[in-house]
Amino acid sequence: MPELPEVEAVRIELDPYFNHSRIDAVDVRRPDLRVPFPRRFRARLTGQTVEAFTRRAKYLLATLESNETLLMHLGMSGWFNLSAPGERERVIDKHDHVIFHMSSGAVIAFNDPRRFGLMALLTPKQLAAHPVLRRLGPEPLSEDFDAASLARACRGRKTAIKLALLDQRVVAGLGNIYAAEALHVARLSPMGPAATLATPAGRPRESAYRLTTAIKQVLARAIARQTARRYRSSPFLVYDRESERCPRPGCGGTIRRRTQGGRSTFYCSNCQR
């Protein structure tokens, strides 16, 4: 499933073609994705200007002139294929389920072989009450996410640090891969109690500062790799590298794998304590 850096890279790529551009036409090539498309989906989008194109956690949000918001989620296999203005339009694929024809000249196709993606049209009231969005914590790359906010969220928590990071109420959009990577950068064990990030009074310990800095660094680097289209050539530090030597200079440890919350956690047995 695409994680936050992949979704942010999509937002960055599509922003020049969605933002402040009018949706001239929409081809809807099936009745549903994960759930059925909203009532009058095509009609409610056609002719609307996108006033803002943003991201919240792993959701893309296009705020429309009508005051509705088009909320989109990539699901397991969803992606957007772009034909930029002046480019030859790509041949329609059988998995292209929604195609946006923009006044910018761009043609943007949502392709989703497994159809776990999602598109919804929400009023401001519905957006504020969305069962997922309204429970989200701070964005990890925002100023709202810092050592103090992490410590407050983890104070008294007996759960493991890795599992706390995957709680979207603690930090929005951080997924399994980048939580493992950040913990390695911060030299913290994924199995350590989340409560150790805070003092009994809820103030951040030194480890909370290291971890928030590491999260921001890991995500920023991943987004840069994605937007430069060098993602596959830049291997992870620990994720999916079981039994390999730790890449930290002078460590000499070995990458281990264990299961936490039904997901694989990769970490160095030597430098993450």
Kindly provide the residue ranges of all beta strands, DSSP E only, lying in the chain, ordered along the sequence: 23-28, 50-56, 59-64, 69-73, 79-83, 96-102, 107-111, 118-122, 255-260, 263-268
Query: How many whole angstroms separate alpha carbon 168 and alpha carbon 249?
Result: 33
11, 55, 58, 210: the catalytic one is 58
From the DSSP assignment, how many helices (H) and strands (E) are in the chain? 7, 10
Structure tokens that stand for 250 in this block: 């002078």
Q: Among 193, 196, 183, which Cα is nearest to 256's?
A: 183
3, 8, 68, 181: the catalytic one is 3
Structure tokens that stand for 183 in this block: 């913990």
Beta pairing, strands 263-268 & 255-260: antiparallel
**Residue 259 exposed, middle or buried by CB count within 10 Å (0-12, 13-18, 19+):** exposed
263: annotated active-site residue: yes
**Residue 105 exposed, middle or buried by CB count within 10 Å (0-12, 13-18, 19+):** middle
210: annotated active-site residue: no
155, 221, 257, 263: the catalytic one is 263
Residue whose tokens read 């002078």: 250
5: annotated active-site residue: no
140: annotated active-site residue: no
For residue 119, the tally of other CB atoms under 10 A from its CB is 24
**Do residues 12 and 66 lie in contact, with contact meaning Cβ atoms separated by under 8 Å?**
no
Catalytic residues: 2-3, 58, 263
